[in-house]
Chain A
Amino acid sequence: MSNGVALDIQGLSKQFKGKRGLRVEALCGLTMQVPQGEVFGFLGPNGAGKSTTIKCLMGLIAPTAGSATIIGETIGSVESRMKVGFLPENPAFYDYLSAEEYLQFVGRTFRMPDDLLARRVEESLRLLELSDARKRPIRSYSKGMVQRVGLAQTMIHDPELYILDEPMSGLDPIGRALVKDIILDLKKRGKTVFFSTHITDDVEKVCDRVGVIVKGRLMALDRVETIMRSGIEGYVVQTKAGIGNHTALASFGLIRSSEVFREYSVPAGRFNEFTALVSHHALEITLIETKRKDLEAFFLEIVENVAR
């Protein structure tokens, strides 16, 4: 039973044997859940353990300790993989096949009926803008096209859960925008998307929640919205020049002024005081801009703290 949880990870650990018998701890007691219908960003610097986690989930490597389930099915089983659309990092597919042939192969492994498979292949190729290249062998594709084949094969059986390892890697800005649109569309359709990335902007734009992993340990797990809100440092407020008594605002930092407006820097804790003064001295606010730490700053702060 999944109980509305798409991904349930409990104490997942992985150690690799390094050189001279040394053990490398790639993943250490990862515990987290991803509810169904959520877009989850798994953020971390290179070598943080993102791909190790995903490989454990997909049964490519066996965890040293811990367990996980995919929509109620234990990881590593055929049944668990039946419920997932998986895109590996830097994907490679049988290059002697065309995109169409490869998608048919993937669909057949998911035991899709022929007519449904034919329809889905058509739709996926069109959605990922591969229709023109459908008959060409994959070996003639560019890196971005191979990445798009990878995304197409995750969608072919319309799974409930998508596990994407660096889905935007190797794509040009148009391709990245396309992938973001696809993820947002999947979200609209109630699908769960778990994707790893080291690009904070990707997470900020499409994710509901984010987990930050550094050196194999989950360092933060929160809603993107909450992080963004907690990152508010203050506001930039413009008031109309020539109206009211601006000297009342002298205790706030004046950024610039012109004949039309005056621009103040208002700390988050003094915003109410600022608005009260505006109202009391008959001033007029024309613009308020939030000054916030973005997700990148939040991410870098965590990484730097771990490094210390």
Chain B
Amino acid sequence: MKDVLLITLKGIFRDRIFQGIMALAGLIVFIPSAASLSMRQVTELSITLSLSTISFIMLLLSVFLGATSMWKDIERRYTFSVVSLPISRTSYVFGKFFGIALFLVLTAFVLGCAAMISIKVSSMGYPPARPVEWGLIMAAIVFDAFKYILLVGVAMLLSAVSTSFFLPVFGTVSIFLVGTITQQVYDYLHTPASEKVVSAIVKNAALVLYYLLPNLQSFDLKVYAIYSIKPSLGGVLTTFCYGGIYTAVLLLASSLLFGRREMK
């Protein structure tokens, strides 16, 4: 698994798509100047822009790397050479996944450092009303990375069964979009107002999807970081365990499906 992981990492660093996406990271440098244009809540805006930029970059990376890494190997016939080596298909899937996951962690770390420097610069020029909670900013970045690692798991699962580029890419994007609103839908379905509008069948279908699809909103700690509000420790731990278990299930399913896949 380690060998596939290292090769995957090497491939990402040499990929032109990655280099293009990382050029976007340069935007972080301009965040203090952009935030100062708002004239008020400059530090808060700086935190918002920094965390959103990191989140957007990681979304692009997780979709493109997660959805294309395995597909590219199959499409370009690299898998014939690799899975006929003495490595199990599980090791191959896990190696690919952890290579991308490690890369996302590295990206989060580098971009996080850059973002914190930007936020520091903003906060020195325009001191915020509430002190900046650096721990919360770090937690927001860590949980964001965690969310996108889970999304890579989704992409890997779709890649394990798909023969084309479309299902992994568009499937992952769709699941990301749905995953960020399932909590809101769930909350809405439990309000008295929904009972008059939503039929029982639609409600049950929505609830099935709520439990089946990943709830990505719970990983979003940006608001806590921006306004320096401490989230509940229990909630954070639950999200952490949920993410871990969900990702593990995705990986096991990917490995099982890829193990049965025929390399014709």
Which of A's residues lie within 8 Å of B, judged by CB? 16, 55, 58-62, 78-79, 81-82, 86, 88, 90-97, 101, 105-106, 108-110, 150, 153
Contact = CB atoms under 8 A, between A and B. Distances in A.
B134 interface: no
Contact of A105 (B7, B15, B80, B260): B7
Nearest to B91: A78
Contacts of A95: 76
Interface string B1-40: 0010011001100110000000000000000000000000
Contacts of B230: none
A62 B83 CA distance: 13
B262 A92 contact: no
A2 to B, nearest CB: 17
A97 B80 contact: no
Contacts of A82: 86
B264 A59 contact: no
Contacts, number: 64
A148 to B, nearest CB: 14
The 3 closest A-B pairs by CB, nearest first: A60-B263, A92-B77, A82-B86
B92 to A, nearest CB: 10
Contact of B78 (A58, A61, A93): A93
A81 B86 CA distance: 5
Given A81-B84, A92-B78, A105-B7, 5 more contacts: A60-B263, A62-B260, A82-B86, A97-B10, A153-B81
Contacts of B7: 94, 97, 105
Given A97-B7, A108-B3, A91 B262 contact: no
A94 B11 contact: yes
A58 B80 CA distance: 9
Nearest to B83: A60
Contact of B3 (A60, A91, A93, A109): A109
Contact of B76 (A61, A62, A92): A92
B86 A93 contact: no
Contacts of B78: 92-94
11 contacts: A78-B88, A79-B86, A81-B86, A92-B78, A93-B78, A94-B7, A94-B78, A97-B10, A108-B3, A109-B86, A110-B86
B201 interface: no
Interface string B67-82: 0000000001110110
Contacts of B260: 62
Q: Looking at chain B's contact residues, is the secondary structure mostly helix, strand, loop, or mixed?
A: loop
Question: By CB atoms of chain B within 10 A, which of A55, A91, A96 has the most?
Answer: A96
A60 B80 contact: yes
What band does the interface of chain B fall in when counting residues whose beta carbon is under 8 Å from A?
Answer: 20 to 34
Given A59-B83, A91-B81, A96 B10 contact: yes
B185 interface: no
Contacts of B87: 78, 109
Given A62-B262, A96-B15, A105-B3, A86 B84 contact: yes
A94 B264 CA distance: 19
B85 A61 contact: no
A84 to B, nearest CB: 8
A88 B86 contact: no
Given A81-B86, A105-B3, A93 B264 contact: no
A81 B263 CA distance: 16
B81 A93 contact: yes
A222 B256 CA distance: 41
Nearest to B264: A61
B8 to A, nearest CB: 9
A79 B80 CA distance: 17
Nearest to B263: A60
Nearest to B89: A59
Nearest to A157: B86
Interface in B241-264: 260, 262-264
A93 B7 CA distance: 12
Contacts of A109: 3, 85-87
Contacts of A58: 84
Nearest to B88: A78
A35 to B, nearest CB: 23
A66 to B, nearest CB: 16
